[in-house]
Amino acid sequence: MRHGGAAAIALTAVLIAGCAPGADDEGFRGQDVAWAPCHSEEDLTLFTELGGDRDWLAALECGTLTVPLDHDDPGGRTLDLAVARHPAEGGAGRKQGSLVVNYGGPGVSGLAGLDTPRFSQDVRDAYDLVSFDPRGVGASEGFACGDWYALDHARRSAGASDPLSTGAEQLRTLENAARDYAESCRDVVGDDFLAHIGTVGVVGDLDLLRDALGEETLDYVGYSYGTRIGALYADTFPDRTGSMVLDSPVLLDGSGLDTALGRANAFRDTWGMFTEYCTEAEPDCPLTDPGTATEFTEEAAAELQYEPVLVDGVGVNGDMFSLLLTLALPRDEQWDDLSALFTALAQDDGPAVEDGIAELYEGAFGTYRDRDPAPPEPGAEHVDAQAALTAISCADRRDPTDVWEYRDAARVADDVAPLLGPDPVWDQLPCAHWPDTEEIPDDADFDGAPPAVVVGTVGDPVTPYSWAEDLHRAMPGSDLITYNGAGHTLYGEGRNACVDDAVDAYLLQDRPPRDALTCHPDH
């Protein structure tokens, strides 16, 4: 719980309608969350069968926090946020307070993330681990709107996978589908809800959660999108900020096209790291350089599209192979298996190819099954994580309205990272037709906030390492931990002892990492 220098109160750059979020919502403070077990005995039995940790799940407590939709107009509509906590395991004598965790997204359920143990035993002994479904996500009034499959169909029918051939007629098809998606969301949940679903509102909610937990300052770990929440909180409420860990930072501001092109560059760089690793690990690896590696991979995917490999009764075709590749690339501990698979593909070794694809399939989907054993919440069939992802992303940013700008960006993205393709750009197109929202200010200065710890990975194929460097420079006094390997989100996952030990010391002993700490892969 870090307090040094935080007492310097300042009106920060994040001013909405003349006041910081939370300045008018005093009537929502002092809430007493009615904690109760999250899971029934029947649920616990099911979760255990699915690989969940029964003792961990049985200790989880859930409750509800009421927040205003608009923190500047607290007399209006309210929202009920689903919150959960796992009590500290070390007893009252070792407890340091609450550690709030956001697992990323947007659109990712914090309650589901808390279903799986993470962090060292020392951290779990010292902290109540707390998470929540942000507004508009999961059990916090999650919703479904639009038809993402119709958008995907429009992309295929318009030939959007080849942006070089995307002309005016094809763009009209794409733009109409994107407009229909945005208008559907406005019809389903209304302009007012969409205007306040973004991170500015989440930050106000987070401060009410801090208050309800009885904490003077917020201790926080945020992954990926969660770094945007944490950084904006530190800028908005510097005097209420404690220890803050920001792992795999996203852009704090910028457009959706900036994000998509950043991801393309990140994927290209990590792909280059992997191809170099493959040729060192496997003498017969065919990925001799990134260019020929891309060509070989595309040819292998095309062959699998017509002759899928059967794994657990599922035919892994070229599209699935491409997905498995994008899931394995962020985890460098899987690179040996991935290298062996490419060598088997080059040698046309059928049994080895089948074994390699099976390993990747189990590594991807087996892992995700284990990490989220819970069945859908009641009504979850009417909740769409993609809707929340789109709505929150569009709410946060200033996005272009000219479809030709998206076409130009799609061409760049496809050229930079052809294995990833232009889809990350086209995914942003509904934002061109989104209603006005509370956008994240672009002049954060973090004045008065205590130093944070930023964790960046050199080979992060989702959020480029340069974004971690940018956030580190923007936050005065912050410490940057560099992981010189591959991965998207790292701390507390047991993947690297150097990173885990350094962050643990910061959280538990208020001891920041040594200057410019660089950690290397354990394997």
pLDDT tens per residue, range 253-274: 889 999 999 999 999 999 999 9
pLDDT number for residue 159: 84
Residue-wise DSSP of 369-381: HHH--PPPPTTGG
Residue-wise DSSP of 218-267: EEEEEETHHHHHHHHHHHH-GGGEEEEEEES---SSS-HHHHHHHHHHHH
- CB contact at 8 A, 67 and 14: no
Q: Among residues 455, 507, 473, 451, which one has the least CA distance to residue 241?
A: 451
- For residue range 300-346, what is the model confidence (pLDDT) as tens digits? 999 999 999 888 788 899 989 998 999 899 999 999 999 999 999 99
Taking CA atoms, 136 is separated from 94, 151, 228, 367, in Å, by 35, 21, 17, 26
Distance CA(490)–CA(511), nearest Å, equals 19
In residues, how long is the chain?
523
Extract the tokens encoding 360.
Answer: 């990747």
Give the burial class of 37: count Cβ atoms within 10 A of its Cβ; 0-12 exposed, 13-18 middle, 19 or more buried. middle
Distance CA(244)–CA(145), nearest Å, equals 34
Taking CA atoms, 472 is separated from 1, 32, 466, in Å, by 20, 36, 10
Torsion sign (Cα): 508, 511, 515, 520: negative
Give the start-to-end residue ranges of the domains of the chain. Answer: 26-142+194-253+440-519, 148-189+374-433, 257-371
**Domain 26-142+194-253+440-519 belongs to what topology?**
Rossmann fold (3.40.50)
* Dihedral in degrees, nearest 10, Cα atoms 493, 495, 498, 499: -40
Q: Which residues of the chain have pLDDT under 50?
A: 1-19, 367-381
Q: Classify 315 as helix, strand or coil.
A: strand
Distance CA(58)–CA(56), nearest Å, equals 6
Distance CA(409)–CA(404), nearest Å, equals 9
Cis amide linkage into residue 21, ω under 30° from 0: no
Q: Classify 102 as helix, strand or coil.
A: strand
CB atoms within 10 A of CB 521: 16
Q: For residue 203, report the phi and psi dihedrals to the nearest 5 degrees.
A: -65, -40
Within 13 Å, how many C-alpha atoms sit on residue 196's CB side? 23
Is the pTM here over 0.85, yes or no? yes
Torsion sign (Cα): 300, 305, 307, 311: positive
pLDDT number for residue 141: 95
Distance CA(353)–CA(347), nearest Å, equals 9
pLDDT number for residue 371: 38
Query: Which distant-in-sequence residues (6+ apart) come within 8 Å of 497 by Cβ?
Result: 522
Taking CA atoms, 131 is separated from 188, 213, 429, in Å, by 27, 11, 31
Distance CA(461)–CA(130), nearest Å, equals 28
pLDDT number for residue 380: 39
